[in-house]
Amino acid sequence: MSQDAPPDFAAALGLEVFDFGPLAALYRPVEAGAWRLAIGANIPCRGYWSGMKLVRAMPGLIRGTDTWMSLTPIEYESQILGVGAAQGHVVIMGLGMGWVAAETALREAVSRVTIVERDPEVIALHRELDLFAQLPGGAGDKVRIVEGDALAWRPDHPVDLLMPDIWLGLVEGDRVPEVRRMQDNVGARAVYFWGQELEIARHAAAAGRRLDAAGVEATVREFALPLVMPEGIDYPRFIHAAARQWMRDRWFAPEHAAMLDAAPNGS
Ligand SMILES: C[S@@+](CC[C@H](N)C(=O)[O-])C[C@H]1O[C@@H](n2cnc3c(N)ncnc32)[C@H](O)[C@@H]1O
């Protein structure tokens, strides 16, 4: 190896490299008020349901000492099922790095993307970054950013999918009532909210249900939301895997954590 060759961290750590896709290259360091976009390098990250991977160049959105989000395997896996269900008019609560909006706008089945963001500094950061204008095929023309409070905003067009993502932590408090409040104002045909899998797991555990198809269905029914139930995959198994990775030591009462050791299909 030449002296100047960069070290191969993935090989050294025995990790697969995570590739976020072409969107990652559209991010660069920019700042607005208290927010800044920065690019980290060679960071090992766990997925939502998949294992550890290495992220070679990782754009992240930081406010003070809080990293609000970054383009990691967990971020991708915890939103991509919602993106896959997107069609027609999609409303996204929370702009952040705008990647969910960009990915959604790239879908042919999506005609319009409305993003509701309460912080004018995040909107200013996006004016500087100009992410949506760089999307191929003019997909960015579908995107409209509105300054407003996700909990109070009402649409002027019928909404096909509501995607709330206004939280800093993956699980914090009970977000179902907040999502219901948004949905009461929006009346979307379907809803997919960030971390819904862990919220389903937490509520199922509290009700003494297994994380199998029947337990998931009964729990979602209680949410009283038209929640996206992804088709073509064993969704309870994905919920179980995410909960095992992210809830084992936190957020579950000890007596509930035992459910994570049971296989999702009850075997
Ligand atoms: C985690 S980021 C959203 C990430 C985004 N889905 C993406 O694809 O990059 C959360 C965003 O929600 C915004 N936010 C927090 N509370 C809000 C509220 N009540 N109404 C509107 N936006 C809010 C924050 O300012 C932040 O920009």
Task: Summarize pLDDT for 163-188 with one digit per residue, the tens.
Answer: 999 999 888 778 999 999 999 999 99
Q: Please indicate whether residue 119 or residue 258 has the higher confidence score (pLDDT).
A: 119
Phi-psi region of 88 (alpha: psi -120 to 50; beta: other; left: phi over 0): left
Q: At residue 90, does pLDDT exceed 90?
A: yes
Q: At residue 257, does pLDDT exceed 80?
A: no
Beta bridge partners of 37: 30, 61
Give the mean pLDDT of 99-127: 98
Q: At residue 266, does pLDDT exceed 60?
A: no
Give the mean pLDDT of 229-242: 94
Torsion sign, CA atoms 152, 153, 156, 157: negative
8 A C-beta contact, residue 225 and residue 237: no
8 A C-beta contact, residue 264 and residue 218: no
Residue 263: per-residue pLDDT: 64
Q: What's the CA-to-centroid distance between 99 and ligand 1, angstroms?
A: 12
Ligand 1 touching residue 166 (CB < 6 A): yes
Looking at ligand 1, which residue's alpha carbon is closest to its atom 10? 166
Q: Which of 104, 117, 179 to mutate to test the pocket of ligand 1 (most atoms within 8 A of CB)?
A: 117
Q: What is the pTM of this model?
A: 0.93
Q: pLDDT band at 81, cuts 50/70/90? A: very high
Q: At residue 139, does pLDDT exceed 70?
A: yes
Q: pLDDT band at 255, cuts 50/70/90? A: low
Percent of residues, the chain, with pLDDT higher than 90: 75
Burial call 180-191: b when 16+ CB within 10 Å, e when fewer: eebbeebebebb
Looking at ligand 1, which residue's alpha carbon is closest to its atom 16? 166
Q: Which of 119, 122, 171 to mutate to test the pocket of ligand 1 (most atoms within 8 A of CB)?
A: 119
Q: Output the CA–CA distances (angstroms, integers) from residue 46 to 23, 86, 95, 164, in the order listed.
A: 20, 26, 23, 23
Torsion sign, CA atoms 67, 73, 76, 77: negative
Phi-psi region of 177 (alpha: psi -120 to 50; beta: other; left: phi over 0): alpha
Residue 191: per-residue pLDDT: 98
Q: At residue 243, does pLDDT exceed 70?
A: yes
Average pLDDT over the chain, rounded to whole? 91
Structure-token pair, residue 190:
């379907």
Instruction: Give the position, in ligand 1's atom list, of the atom nearest the Cα of 102.
Output: 8
Tally of CB atoms within 10 A around 139: 19
Instruction: Give the position, in ligand 1's atom list, of the atom nearest the Cα of 94.
Output: 12
Instruction: Give the position, in ligand 1's atom list, of the atom nearest the Cα of 101.
Output: 8
Give the mean pLDDT of 71-86: 96
Residue 1: per-residue pLDDT: 47
Q: What's the CA-to-centroid distance between 10 and ligand 1, angstroms?
A: 32
Residue 111: per-residue pLDDT: 98
